Structure 1
């Protein structure tokens, strides 16, 4: 391995050590270990360290085709220590500011969308419902009024015709109404028996 490759390897591992420190602080910032379930923390820890190991090996593979030397681990540790002593406090401030800014922007977008989108749609739907109810009530009152106008004269006309009809015709119509009523009752009873029979077969099938 040439000196250039060794130098590139050390610089890459120092950078990856610093990146590992930043990634670890970011992971700790978003994962609340005290309020999370142990299995959830365990799974996230395993995934985090697997991803970090794969990234480090990938960078090492790009620099020196994946050759592991002792100085690579030392450079990785030096980069991590440099981050802890020099950049950690600054990075945490930047991370906190960035997360707070993103959350504030998100809340602002939600507030604006609620003011300019959700509330107008709700108001429009409310107006449509009020108008629809008003039309329904107006049409209902109009229909009731028209039915009353038709029903009252028709009732008197039928009453007059009934009084003017001969008794045999009344008797015939009365018998016809009874006959129709009997047919209706028989059909109703038959339908009820069929429904009861179907329910009995269904219950037996379920048993």
Structure 2
């Protein structure tokens, strides 16, 4: 490697050490080890180290085609130490402010969503539902009224026919009247028996 490449490599490794320190603080801030299961923390730690190892190797590959030297490890440690001594407190303060800003922004976005999208849509849906229920009630009342009118008209129209039928029935011979009564009683009994059998079958099916 030329001196220029070595210099750039050292600077990049020092920067990666600082980046690793900042990433570690960010990772610790969001992980919250005390409230996590040990197995989950273990897998998260492995994933963290693997990802940062790959990132470091990728940066090294871009700078000097992946040629690893011992002093590069020292550069990583120097960058990490520099971050711990000079930038840790500042970074953590900035991180907390960014987190607070993101939380506040999320609350504002949530309130805007509720005020602009959710509540108007909810109000429209409730209004449409109320309108549909009102129209259904009006329609049901109208149908009920028309049905009542039709029944009344039917009674008025059929009343003379009923009187004529009663008059004709009164003129029939007694033997014929008795036959009609027997037929009517037979049909009524048959209907009653059929109803009982239907109820028994229904109860058996429901028990199964």
Category of TM-score, reference length = shorter chain: 0.7 to 0.9
2:163 alignment counterpart:
160
Length-normalised TM-score, structure 1: 0.79
Q: In 1, distance between residues paired with 2:176 and 2:105?
A: 89
1:73 alignment counterpart:
73
Q: Conserved in 2, the CA contact under 8 Å of 1:13 and 1:75?
A: yes
Could you list the per-position Cα deviations for residues 115-172 of structure 1 after superposition, in whole angstroms to 9, with x for gaps in the alignment? 1211111111221122112111111112112211221342345643542443969966
Which ranges in structure 2 are unaligned for 5 or more consecutive residues? 170-174
How many residues of Structure 1 are paired with residues of Structure 2 in the alignment?
199
Change (3 A) 1:53 1:173: farther
Q: In 1, distance between residues paired with 2:97 and 2:182?
A: 91
Superposition RMSD in Å? 3.3
Could you list the per-position Cα deviations for residues 53-98 of structure 1 after superposition, in whole angstroms to 9, with x for gaps in the alignment? 1111111112122222111000000000001111111111111111
Q: In 1, distance between residues paired with 2:119 and 2:112?
A: 10
Length-normalised TM-score, structure 2: 0.79
1:31 alignment counterpart:
31
2:172 alignment counterpart:
none
Q: In 2, distance between residues paired with 1:112 and 1:181?
A: 72
Q: In 2, distance between residues paired with 1:98 and 1:47?
A: 24
Q: Conserved in 2, the CA contact under 8 Å of 1:13 and 1:76?
A: yes
Q: Which has the larger radius of gyration?
A: 2
Which ranges in structure 1 are unaligned for 5 or more consecutive residues? 201-207
Change (3 A) 1:79 1:148: same
